[in-house]
Structure 1
Amino acid sequence: MKTLRTRTTLAVALGAAVLALAACKKEPETMNTGTVDPMAAELANAAPPPPLPMIKSSHPYRCKDNSLIYVDFMTDDVSANFKAKQEAPITPLKAPEKGKPFVSADGKTTITAGEGNTITFNGQSCKFG
């Protein structure tokens, strides 16, 4: 008998809670479904973004100290990706303009493209091939 009374009490309490929550908000929820974009005209007349650079050449280089480095030169001629080991994370390098040295954001890595199959990595000569 006691369990029946407990169940009834729980059912009544649950019903009262549901009714109380249902009565909280009388007005319907409104949502802004308009398609007005204040920048639509500017975006329609904007120039397309420049294409992302792709890998132009990718080579492992052996340096004078017998270490291997990996460099990907990009098609924009001012970007390169550097890895100190094959499985190491990529360090992006940027040159201020075409033909200038590629430098990492922290300034610790510098690569200068040389003649033919050589580059200079932090002051030492490196070759591929």
Structure 2
Amino acid sequence: MKSLPLIAAAAAALLSLSACKNEPEVVDSIAKDPLAEQMKNAPKAELPPAVESSVSFRCQPGNKLLYVDFFQGGKMAVLKKEKDGAPTMLNAPEAGQPFVGADGSKITGNAKAATISVAGAAPVTCKA
């Protein structure tokens, strides 16, 4: 009869342990990103275009030099009056149309030949 309480105690112990899961508890020290859902649904960022060609133009009349960087896509160019001078950003609404700057500068043409109007000056004909 002494073994009956011992068997009952062992059965109770086994029954209580059978409810436990044998999986380790995962502890993560990295906080959840509060913007993760917004970033997942955000539109992809568009990189700025790369420089397609950097051109030194010889322009007439006056035999002066102008420097232009044409960007890929044909919608953006940077004009400089001097090699290390201040750049003027010019944009075209569509590829193949003239580039126009906020200061009134304008480039019509391409990297081989162009007509360039620097703000406040008469247009000049330029060749690379």
TM-score by length of 1: 0.64
Matched residues in 2 for 1:58 and 1:120: separation?
Answer: 16
- Paired residue for 1:124? 124
Q: 1:50 is matched with which residue: 46, 49, 58?
A: 46
Listed as ranges, the matches of 1:38-77 within 5 Å are 39-65=35-61, 66-77=63-74
Between the two proteins, the alignment pairs up a number of residues equal to: 93
Q: Greater CA radius of gyration, 1 or 2? A: 2
Question: After the TM superposition, which residues 104-119 of structure 1 pair with which residues of structure 2 at under 5 Å, given as runs?
Answer: 104-107=101-104, 109-114=105-110, 117-119=112-114
Q: Aligned residue for 1:101?
A: 98
Shift of the 113–49 alpha-carbon distance from structure 1 to 2, 3 Å rule, reads same
Question: Deviation string for 1:64-97 (max 9, x for gaps)?
Answer: 1211000000012101111001120111111111
| Letter matched to residue 119 of structure 1 | A
TM-score (ref. length: structure 2): 0.64
Give the deviation of 1:35 after TM superposition. 5.2
For residue 88 of structure 1, what is the amino acid of its counterpart? G
Q: After TM superposition, where is structure 1 displaced by more than 6 Å over at least 4 residues in a row?
A: none
Over the matched positions of the two proteins, sequence identity in percent amounts to: 36
Alpha-carbon separation, structure 1, partners of 2:92 and 2:46: 17
